């Protein structure tokens, strides 16, 4: 089982730490500026990270599919 798991792990998975930290480290984005078209940073940053999370998952998916 453990051997199976280790074989299954790939370095590219570490990429997914980025969206997790970017979204859970709140002090980084708890501010109003720079705003975008009147939308405070707090809001557009988090909405943008939804798309970036999907992008990171897509990169990992492509790497998995190419295996």
Partner 1 sequence: MSAALIVFIALFAGVTVLGFYASRWRAGDMSQLSEWGLGGRRFGSLITWFMLGGDLYTAYTFVAVPALIFAGGAVGFFAVPYAAIAYIVMYFAFPRLWSVAQAKGYVTGADFVRGRFGSRTLALAIALTGIVATMPYIALQLVGMEVVLAGLGLHGEWPVIVAFVVLAAYTYASGIRAPAMIAVVKDILIYATVIAAVIVIPAELGGYAKMFAAVPAKNLLLSANPFSNPGMFSYATLALGSALALFLYPHAATGVMAASNRGAIKRNAVALPAYSLVLGLIALLGFMALAAGVKAMPQYADAFRTFGNNFAVPALFLQMFPGWFVGVAFAAIAIGALVPAAIMSIACANLFTRNIYREFFRPNCSPEHESQVAKIASLFVKLGALIFILEGQSKTAIELQLLGGIWIIQTLPSILIGLYSRWLNGYALSIGWVCGMSAGTWMAAQSGFKASVYVLHIGSLALPCYAALSSVLLNIVVSALLSPIFNATSAPRDDATVAEDYL
Which residues lie near partner 1 (CB under 8 A)?
A: 1, 4-5, 8, 13, 16, 19-20, 23-27, 30-32, 35, 37-40, 42-43, 46-47, 49-51, 53-54, 57-58, 60-61, 64-65
Q: How many CB atoms lie within 10 A of CB 45?
A: 19
We find the least distance from the C-beta atom of residue 64 to partner 1, in angstroms, to be 7
Give me the long-range contacts of 25-30 (CB less than 8 A, separation at least 24).
Answer: none
- Distance of closest approach, residue 1 Cβ to partner 1, in angstroms: 5
């Amino acid at each position: 089982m453990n051997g199976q798991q280790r074989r299954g792990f790939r370095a590219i998975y570490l990429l997914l730490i980025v969206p997790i930290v970017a979204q859970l480290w709140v002090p980084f984005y708890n501010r109003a500026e720079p705003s975008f078209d009147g939308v405070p940073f707090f809001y557009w940053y988090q909405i943008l990270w939804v798309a970036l999370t999907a992008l990171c998952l897509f990169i990992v998916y492509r790497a998995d599919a190419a295996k």
